[in-house]
């Protein structure tokens, strides 16, 4: 489907973002998304699951939804494509997706410092920037770069972005928290087998020239019981893999979660501890999960059980683990995450960083890995697809689904040729919806959704039967309200 060149327009309130250039609402633009490119997402295998507030499982595509309706384009029309700056060697999966949209993608392999980044974004008038963990998007970058609409963090965390400043400037931030779930689950399976066969000790001995052919204390994993603490994205994937290896699976979670396969949820952590041969942790870092496995919990585990932590460093009390491994209470352990982790690769994992480091490293049948649970080529590619697709959905459809700093909103496709979509980020103050509804009251609103997050709110509304004159009228009325942070129209 070919379409006329259109421009991307956003009205940003200069008061809401001190430092934005008043009178510079018109940004660069794109060839509009066409049904042909937008409706062909990559294969859906390996997609993460999302969870509702109640904890039930719903499948959610990480990729732009198949558009059955009208292909939307930004209003008013301009000829230049959407400009995206990608830093830090973002995965080619993202680059390919974004280029397929007709966006102008500029790639820089390294991270940029604050001033360099500001200069680059301002000179290029970029609407989107993609980073990984090294580029810091500070409040100053956000204040200076008025053209930015969206930030893609092609990684798990978002600490490197000032999320609040971005929200207050009407800039959505997306990341990919669950793209590496499978990678972690596979690592755990490998560790379960390696621990039960004392593989690391045998391999180390052989490297030292020591032949030590033993079967005592070495086991098959078939028929053994795996205990999973935290049955989320990783825990659930692991459950399926473990059962396929002939293990029984029990899990404990703070919320009731539908089991996969033949797994069974138990009611308390204590119940789990005494019932399993391998205990693996997959909980977030929270005050209540800090040191959730300490001496008291280890004492409740079976003699000769194994403990695995690929979650977060503070979840296990490591001195208690050292004691349990040295006394033989536990037959082995795998640890991928630590309370303090080195900032860079090299010989940095010493006692200066964690005082128990050498005691831990001297334990028998222990697998230590440098936080590599999610570090695979596949995970990088999934991250590229997921974040790239989120940027496209946001730019093309106004969908903020999965944004970390704005309410998560999406609307069904517009079916009518005469339809248009209002995307309105505004200050969360009383009376705003009344103003919006006042502007829209003379039109037919086919669907509308709004939500707030702290001081910032987002509203999506589809209006049908509108002409270009109507769209101009709505755009101008909404974008000139005092509560406006950023207004876009798609038609």
The residues of the shown chain that bind ligand NAD, judged by CB under 6 A, are 178, 180-181, 184, 229-235, 252-255, 282-286, 288-289, 310-312, 336-337, 371, 373-374
C-beta of 202 vs 282, nearer to ligand NAD: 282
With 0-12 / 13-18 / 19 or more C-beta atoms within 10 angstroms meaning exposed / middle / buried, residue 347 is: exposed
From 312, 421, 426, 488, the catalytic residue: 312
Specify whether 341 is catalytic.
yes
Contact, 486 vs 170, CB < 8 A? yes
Cβ 313 to ligand NAD shortest distance, Å:
10
**Closest to 257 measured CA to CA, from 278, 279, 218, 283:** 283
Question: Of the two residues 84 and 383, which places its CB atom closer to ligand NAD in the complex?
Answer: 383
The catalytically annotated residue of 205, 341, 468, 476 is: 341
Residue nearest to ligand NAD (CB): 232
Q: How far is the CB of 236 from ligand NAD (least distance, A)?
A: 8
Catalytic residue among 57, 243, 371, 378: 371
Closest CA to 164 of 401, 453, 481: 453
Q: Taking the complex as a whole, how short is the minimal distance between the CB of residue 187 and ligand NAD, in angstroms?
A: 8
> d(Cα 460, Cα 172) in Å, to the nearest integer?
14
Q: Known catalytic residue: 204? A: no
**Nearest distance, CB of residue 485 and ligand NAD, angstroms:** 30
Which is closer to ligand NAD, CB of 290 or CB of 428? 290
Spatial distance between the Cα atoms of 378 and 57, rounded to a whole number of angstroms: 24
The tokens for 315 are: 């979840």
* CB-CB neighbours of 134 under 10 Å: 12
CB 58 within 8 A of CB 365: no
Helix (H), strand (E) at residue 459: strand 456-464
441 a catalytic residue? no
Instruction: Give the largest CA-CA distance in the chain.
Output: 85
Beta carbon nearer to ligand NAD, 252 or 458: 252
Least Cβ distance, residue 92 to ligand NAD (angstroms): 22
Closer CB to ligand NAD, 311 or 478, in the complex:
311
Query: Residue 269 CA to chain centroid, in angstroms?
Result: 28
Alpha helices, DSSP H, located in 197-332: 199-207, 233-244, 269-273, 295-300, 318-327
- Active centre residues (catalytic): 312, 341, 371
């Amino acid at each position: 489907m070919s379409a006329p060149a259109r421009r991307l327009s956003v009205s940003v309130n200069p008061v809401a973002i001190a430092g934005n250039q008043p009178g510079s609402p018109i940004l660069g633009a794109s060839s509009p998304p066409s049904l042909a490119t937008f409706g062909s997402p990559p294969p859906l295998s390996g997609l993460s699951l999302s969870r509702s507030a109640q904890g039930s499982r719903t499948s959610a595509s990480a990729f732009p939804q198949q558009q059955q309706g009208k292909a939307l384009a930004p209003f008013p029309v301009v000829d230049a494509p959407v400009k995206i700056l990608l830093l830090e060697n973002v995965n080619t999966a993202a680059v390919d997706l974004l280029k397929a949209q007709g966006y102008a993608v500029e790639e820089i392999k390294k991270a940029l410092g604050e001033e360099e980044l500001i200069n680059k974004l301002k000179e290029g008038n970029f609407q989107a920037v993609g980073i990984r963990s090294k580029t810091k998007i500070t409040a100053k970058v956000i204040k200076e770069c008025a053209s930015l609409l969206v930030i893609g963090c092609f990684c798990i965390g978002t600490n490197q972005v000032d999320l609040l400043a971005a929200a207050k400037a009407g800039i959505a931030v997306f990341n990919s928290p669950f793209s590496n779930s499978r990678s972690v689950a596979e690592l755990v399976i490998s560790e379960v087998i390696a621990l039960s066969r004392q593989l690391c000790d045998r391999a180390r001995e052989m490297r030292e020239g020591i032949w030590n052919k033993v079967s005592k204390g070495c086991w098959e994993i078939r028929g053994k019981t795996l205990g999973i603490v935290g049955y989320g994205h990783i825990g659930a994937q692991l459950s399926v893999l473990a059962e396929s290896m002939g293990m029984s699976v029990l899990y404990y979670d703070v919320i009731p979660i539908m089991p996969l396969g033949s797994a069974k949820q138990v009611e308390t952590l204590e119940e789990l501890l005494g019932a399993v041969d391998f205990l693996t942790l997959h909980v977030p870092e929270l005050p209540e999960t800090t040191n959730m496995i300490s001496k008291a919990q280890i004492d409740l585990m079976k003699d000769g059980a194994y403990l695995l932590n690929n979650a977060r460093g503070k979840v296990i009390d490591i001195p208690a683990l050292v004691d349990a491994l040295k006394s033989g209470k536990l037959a082995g352990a795998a640890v991928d995450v630590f309370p303090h982790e080195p900032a860079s690769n090299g010989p940095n994992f010493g006692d200066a960083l964690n005082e128990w480091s050498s005691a831990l490293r001297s334990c028998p049948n222990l697998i230590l890995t440098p936080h590599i649970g999610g570090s695979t080529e596949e995970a990088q590619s999934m991250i590229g697809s997921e974040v790239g697709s989120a940027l496209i959905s946001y730019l093309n459809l106004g969908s903020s689904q999965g944004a970390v700093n704005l309410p998560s909103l999406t609307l069904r496709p517009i079916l009518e040729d005469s339809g248009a979509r209002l995307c309105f980020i505004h200050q969360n103050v009383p009376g705003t919806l009344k103003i919006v509804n006042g502007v829209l009251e003379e039109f037919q609103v086919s669907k509308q959704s709004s939500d707030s997050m702290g001081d910032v709110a987002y509203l999506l509304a589809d209006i049908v039967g509108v002409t270009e004159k109507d769209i101009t009228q709505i755009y101008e009325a909404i974008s000139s309200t005092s509560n406006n942070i950023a207004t876009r129209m798609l038609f």
